[in-house]
């Protein structure tokens, strides 16, 4: 983990990104947020998700059915006693959330379940 990226974060953001925490469901600013742009890592500004891949899953956290190529790394996570796949920023290794397969929310059949506190939105430039 690259410590320099975490020095400017709030304690809540550090808890998510550095300590692998989880914000309460339906509490995040991006859960019901649907504007055109990209979502970047809050710690290092690495582009992670394009807004056109975001969808409403009803799970209480922002959900995306695709990532920007090379933006995410995956790790096996047994912290809850069952196997999950953790997703982290490929640049700073900050914890973003988890990825799930086989739920049939979208044609891609994948859901990146992401903490709002781990990402930041950058709107597309308006012409």
Residue 92 annotated as catalytic: no
Phi, psi (5° rounding) for residue 51? -60, -25
User: Which is catalytic among the residues 41, 89, 92, 113?
Assistant: 113
User: 97: which 2 tokens?
Assistant: 């959330």
Residues 6+ apart with CB under 8 A from 125: none
Instruction: Report helix, strand or coil for 10.
Output: coil
Give catalytic residues, as residue numbers. 113
């Amino acid at each position: 983990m690259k410590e320099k990226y975490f020095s400017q974060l709030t304690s809540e953001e550090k808890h998510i990104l550095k300590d692998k925490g989880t914000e309460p469901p339906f509490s995040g600013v991006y859960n019901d947020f649907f504007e055109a742009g990209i979502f970047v890592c809050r710690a290092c500004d690495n582009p992670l998700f394009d807004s056109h891949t975001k969808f409403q899953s009803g799970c209480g956290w922002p959900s995306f059915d695709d990532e920007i190529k090379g933006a995410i790394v995956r790790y096996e996570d047994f912290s809850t006693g069952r196997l999950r796949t953790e997703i982290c920023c490929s640049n700073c290794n900050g914890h973003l959330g988890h990825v799930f397969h086989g739920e049939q929310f979208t044609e891609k059949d994948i859901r990146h379940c992401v903490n709002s506190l781990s990402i930041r939105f950058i709107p597309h430039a308006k012409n």
